[in-house]
Amino acid sequence: MLLQDIIHQNFAETIETQQNAALSLAEPIEQAAQCLLDTFLAGQKLLICGNGGSAADAQHFASELVNRFEHERPGLPAVALTTDSSILTAIANDHAYDQVFARQVRVLGQAGDVLVAISTSGHSANVLEAIKAARERELRVVALTGRDGGALAPLLCARDIEIRAPTGRTARAQEIHLVVIHILCDLIDRQLLGIR
């Protein structure tokens, strides 16, 4: 196949996936925005985790909440659990890599906080362990997933929210996740600032 064909094929797949997501994800995104807004209005916080590109998404989301998205407003409390190399390496070295987020959830999480768990496959062991820790500490979970939800989806309970990108490709799921993160920021800003 010509390189230009591959380029066009990637764009076409992205557009189709985004169109499918617009149809299937409006409801869980609305629920998640309300959940996050209620959490902030109650004075509680978000903890956000994921691996690789999803670690970047966790940091991206936290920065838009703590600092700002498109409008000036008071900062909103959100912590990416992916950023402190001393904490991450100590937990991985002394315990296990699958505990790097769970231990932070147990230490930093308080009942009523929300864990945002990001995994395109739903099979990252450290994200699954973080969800189990969230359950113990009575945090709600907003999960950004893909494929069939993997081993993550069955861990969720009725109070949790799954936003599942309708694709089997990690790259396409990550692209959906970033759009979802920006929509959540937009909805939160509009509600907080009374923008229509």
Ligand X SMILES: O=C(CO)[C@@H](O)[C@H](O)[C@H](O)[C@H](O)COP(=O)(O)O
Q: Which residues bind ligand X (CB under 6 A)?
A: 51-54, 119-121, 123-124, 127, 170-171, 174
Query: Which one, of 196, 179, 133, lies nearest residue 14 by Cα?
Result: 179
Are 131 and 49 in contact by the 8 Å Cβ rule? The answer is: no
Distance CA 102, CA 63 (A): 21
Q: Measuring CA to CA, how many Å separate 192 from each of 33, 140, 175?
A: 11, 21, 26
User: Is residue 72 marked as binding?
Assistant: no
Q: Residue 156 and residue 174: Cα distance in Å, rounded? A: 20
Nearest approach, Cβ of 119 to ligand X (angstroms)? 3
The answer to the question of residue 53 lying near Zn ion (CB under 5 A) is yes
For the bound state, the minimum distance from the C-beta of residue 38 to Zn ion, rounded and expressed in Å, comes to: 31
The answer to whether 63 is a known ligand-binding residue is: no
What span, in angstroms and rounded, lies between the C-alpha atoms of 144 and 159? 15
Closest CB 82 distance from ligand X, rounded Å: 11
Is position 94 annotated in a ligand binding site? Answer: yes
Whichever of 120 and 126 has its CB closer to Zn ion, that residue is 120
The annotation places the binding site at 51-53, 60, 64, 93-94, 119-121, 124, 174, 182
The annotation places the binding site for substrate at 51-53, 64, 93-94, 119-121, 124, 174
The annotation places the binding site for Zn(2+) at 60, 64, 174, 182
